[in-house]
Amino acid sequence: MGRIIFFYLASFGTSLLGNSITAIALPLVVLFTTGSPLSAGVVAIAAAVPAALAGLLMGSLVDRINRRTAAILSDVISAAALLILPIVHLTVGLSLGWFIAVAVLNSFGDVPGITAREAMLPAIARAAEMNPSRLIGIRESLSGISLLLGPAIAGILVATFEPVTVLWMTSGLATLAAALTLAIPRRAAASAPDHAETSATRPAISMFHGLGIIVRSPLLRGLVLLGMALSVVLAATQGMVIPVHFAFQGEPQFVGFVLSALAAGLLIGGGSFAALGRRIPHRVWFVAGLVLVAVGFSILGVLGPAWSIFAGAAVVGVGGGCMNAVVGLAFIENVPDSRRGTVLGAQNAVMTVVPAAGIGVAAVLIEVSGLRLATTVLTVLWILAAAGALLTPRLRRLRLHDA
């Protein structure tokens, strides 16, 4: 049974690491090739919108085929998409059109792949006879490690090799993730049988069915709205506020350390939940996560010495790791297995688009009134979201087995 867990976590970590490296390397390739920061922004937008659509479209497909198969197909799509740019570079030469086309194609591999691996977790836990809360905690820790290592590896590779060459390596990581997933027994990733709904009687599902399930469930709706608030504040802080602050201070080298501190916090939060998740009530983890994230953003919002910003990012990471583990478990326990891919696909689609809105809002606030107002607004936004969660009975009690 340890073999199943090993290959599941190894494939998850490898895929996430590849995505993390690509997220840093691809904009640099665009920037070095075109010489235009605007082009890099266009490519990022071109990737975000199709990725959201892919999450909505492919979620139901994840529920209709073996999730292991869906994850492998997604990795193969990503590997093939990333190979296109180095090949075109060696032949006809790169242009903005090629970057946009590859970004769109790659988006049809990233979000469905994440969805498939998230949806198969309960089946993996059953096959390995492991408590799902422990596996989710380990997965969150692995996310922290990938977030910690990805940017550093990307920086080293881009500094050592021609930037477009790095995409050969990220394509190789996607291929490796597919191979590791292939090593998972097919039975270990199969959906639980739904006796009330067979494949012959199951109605056709629209691309918005997953969003409908989320909207109709008070618990899931509240968790997604809370996740959106966190995504907006976190993306705005790490993608706009912190880089601008350190740029104004003449210390741009510290931006990467903030991301590392955040990742280290995620590792600690997820690891703590994996070790102690069954001993402490889940609502305690959830409330602690809400409070820690609020404290962390409050520290970040002061924009004090560099060490205090690192500390604030670490506290946000710890709180986020605790909270994300509980939210992941809530989605597993409150969504039928036959619809889990559809719902997680919708959730991931929303979370793909939201960060861009956060960065846009932060940019407007900084342009209009400066950094202080931006950090104050973002901190207050999260405090209001956390207070709303604490005042909502369903979220405050967080009865995970609520149907």
Give the pLDDT confidence score for residue 253 in this predicted structure: 67
The CATH code for residues 208-403 is 1.20.1250.20
Residue 305 has pLDDT above 50, yes or no: yes
Give the pLDDT confidence score for residue 403 in this predicted structure: 34
Give the pLDDT confidence score for residue 198 in this predicted structure: 45
Higher pLDDT, 5 or 66: 5
Q: Which fold has domain 1-132+145-192?
A: Growth Hormone; Chain: A; (1.20.1250)
**pLDDT winner (highest mean) among 55-64, 172-181, 393-402:** 172-181
Q: What angle do CA 12, 176, 40 make, to 5 degrees?
A: 80
pLDDT tens by residue, 264-300: 888 888 888 888 877 888 888 888 999 999 999 999 8
Give the pLDDT confidence score for residue 189 in this predicted structure: 66
pLDDT tens by residue, 130-168: 888 788 888 878 877 777 777 777 767 777 777 788 889
- Mutual angle of helices 340-369 and 218-236, in 10-degree steps: 40
Mean predicted lDDT score pLDDT of the chain:
80
Q: How far apart are CA 131 and CA 8, in angstroms?
A: 15
Give the pLDDT confidence score for residue 38 in this predicted structure: 64
Higher pLDDT, 97 or 336: 97
The answer to whether 295 touches 301, Cβ cutoff 8 Å, is: no
Q: How far apart are CA 88 and CA 286, in angstroms?
A: 48
Question: What is the pTM assigned to this prediction?
Answer: 0.72
pLDDT tens by residue, 179-219: 999 988 887 766 655 544 444 444 445 556 777 888 888 88
* Average pLDDT value for residue range 320-349: 80
Domain with CATH 1.20.1250.20 in the chain: 1-132+145-192, 208-403
Q: How far apart are CA 53 and CA 328, in angstroms?
A: 22
Give the pLDDT confidence score for residue 202 in this predicted structure: 45
Give the pLDDT confidence score for residue 80 in this predicted structure: 92
Give the pLDDT confidence score for residue 41 in this predicted structure: 66
Residue 343 has pLDDT above 90, yes or no: no
The answer to whether 59 touches 342, Cβ cutoff 8 Å, is: yes
pLDDT tens by residue, 363-374: 778 777 778 888
The answer to whether 237 touches 300, Cβ cutoff 8 Å, is: yes
AA identity, residue 253 = Q
